[in-house]
Structure 1
């Protein structure tokens, strides 16, 4: 048995918060009866309708996208901007959604799925899934600045968890540097805000890796389906903190 709003969110119909709103507004039926109580639990045998549309049990799918610049990490956008799901519309019929987010100007590795449970495993900070970024920054970070990022730095929404950071190259004449940073949190614009906090704002940002996944063989705007083994390893990594690549 699962909470109704959780089942709706996991089906990719709406976020958990939006699902709760739909329930309270009387727009959800279970076995033909309107349900407005948020604590309601349902089973796999129950028939659920959201705004008159039956909740279908879709096959679970998992994709790795090389997100291009100028796309929103969302299913829809009220400003009419392109979303990452637009890239899949011609070939993928399941209602997929992005796992976490990359902001409008950030490129790189983004997962998409219709599996809400998997998405939660990949994005909740307690599961500590590493995400690695390459940041081109304005200015050259000091040793002290990099150490602050490594130990955790205070932002307006709290102190960040320790990060792995290194400066891979710099150009004194141009006043620019390239840094690699690995974090396991996923706050809004976190990497950009971290570098701003040490006085070296990000000019260009790309997510290179997500756990053990990378962008090998893909160009911006291209995607591939994750293998069953990759999905299994990601689940094991989230649940145990380590993976055995031989199993």
Structure 2
């Protein structure tokens, strides 16, 4: 049994929040009966209609996108800026991004209409690793890297321990390339962590999500996830292990 608004959203009709509005306004029927009570649960055998149209289950779709900078990680943007879903005009299903990448951050992001998998991947308890590569101003010393590795205090909370490594440095320009691997997903977390230890970010890219990478893609390109990759993501999210 699933909550009615979740079933409507999973079918790709609209977002869960808007589905709640449809239910409250009496536009949803279950087995011919108008339902206005939020939290009503239905099974796969129940007939659900929205605005008189029977609900059809969408085929699940999974994509990996190499997000360019200055793209919004959302379904739509109030300011009219380009979003990650605009890269999939030919896809009929209602895709949405799994988590977010900042407007000025490039790199790997997953898009799907599988709400269950999206929830698993974004829930902090499952600790999915995400690797970022940052160009920073200044050259981090061992003490700064050690602070990142043990977690740093931000305004909201102390971050979980991270994997931090200095990849290269340019003493003439006083810049460095740093690899940072985290499993949390707070807004601007990587930028804020590096800022907190004294090294503001100039450029940032997410290079890896779990075992997935952007290998073979350039900014703006995408590819469908393979069946084996989807299965591995589900297993990793549920058990923390690939095997």
- How high is the TM-score relative to the length of structure 1? 0.91
Counterpart of 1:56 in structure 2 is 56
Counterpart of 1:30 in structure 2 is 30
Preserved contact between residue 12 and residue 97 of structure 1 (Cα < 8 Å):
no
C-alpha distance in 1 between matches for 2:56 and 2:156: 38
User: Does the residue aligned with 1:46 lie in a helix, a strand or coil?
Assistant: coil
Q: What are the superposed Cα offsets for residues 181-236 of structure 1, whole Å, 9 maximum, x if unpaired?
A: 11111111111111111121111011101111111111111111111111011111
- Using a 3 Å threshold, how does the CA distance of structure 1 residues 75 and 2 change in structure 2: closer, same or farther? same
Preserved contact between residue 150 and residue 163 of structure 1 (Cα < 8 Å):
yes
Q: What are the superposed Cα offsets for residues 10-46 of structure 1, whole Å, 9 maximum, x if unpaired?
A: 3344444454454445454434444332221011133
Deviates more, 1:26-35 or 1:137-146: 26-35
1:10 maps onto 2:20 in alignment: no
Deviates more, 1:8-17 or 1:118-127: 8-17
Preserved contact between residue 12 and residue 58 of structure 2 (Cα < 8 Å):
no
User: Does the residue aligned with 1:126 lie in a helix, a strand or coil?
Assistant: helix
- Using a 3 Å threshold, how does the CA distance of structure 1 residues 56 and 200 change in structure 2: closer, same or farther? same
- How high is the TM-score relative to the length of structure 2? 0.92
Task: Give the alignment's Cα RMSD to 1 decimal.
Answer: 1.9
C-alpha distance in 2 between matches for 1:11 and 1:49: 11
Preserved contact between residue 12 and residue 93 of structure 2 (Cα < 8 Å):
no
Counterpart of 1:215 in structure 2 is 214
Counterpart of 1:193 in structure 2 is 192
Deviates more, 1:12-21 or 1:213-222: 12-21
Deviates more, 1:21-30 or 1:80-89: 21-30
C-alpha distance in 2 between matches for 1:124 and 1:16: 17
Gaps of at least 5 residues in structure 1 are none
C-alpha distance in 1 between matches for 2:34 and 2:144: 56
C-alpha distance in 2 between matches for 1:148 and 1:26: 54
Gaps of at least 5 residues in structure 2 are none
Aligned-residue offset at 1:132: 0.5
Runs of 4+ deviating beyond 6 Å: none
Counterpart of 1:72 in structure 2 is 72
Counterpart of 1:104 in structure 2 is 103
- Using a 3 Å threshold, how does the CA distance of structure 1 residues 177 and 3 change in structure 2: closer, same or farther? same
Aligned-residue offset at 1:170: 1.3
C-alpha distance in 2 between matches for 1:51 and 1:194: 47
Counterpart of 1:129 in structure 2 is 128
C-alpha distance in 1 between matches for 2:212 and 2:96: 18
Matched positions, count: 243
Q: What are the superposed Cα offsets for residues 85-121 of structure 1, whole Å, 9 maximum, x if unpaired?
A: 01101x2111111111111111111100000001111
Counterpart of 1:163 in structure 2 is 162
User: Does the residue aligned with 1:118 lie in a helix, a strand or coil?
Assistant: helix
Preserved contact between residue 127 and residue 241 of structure 1 (Cα < 8 Å):
yes
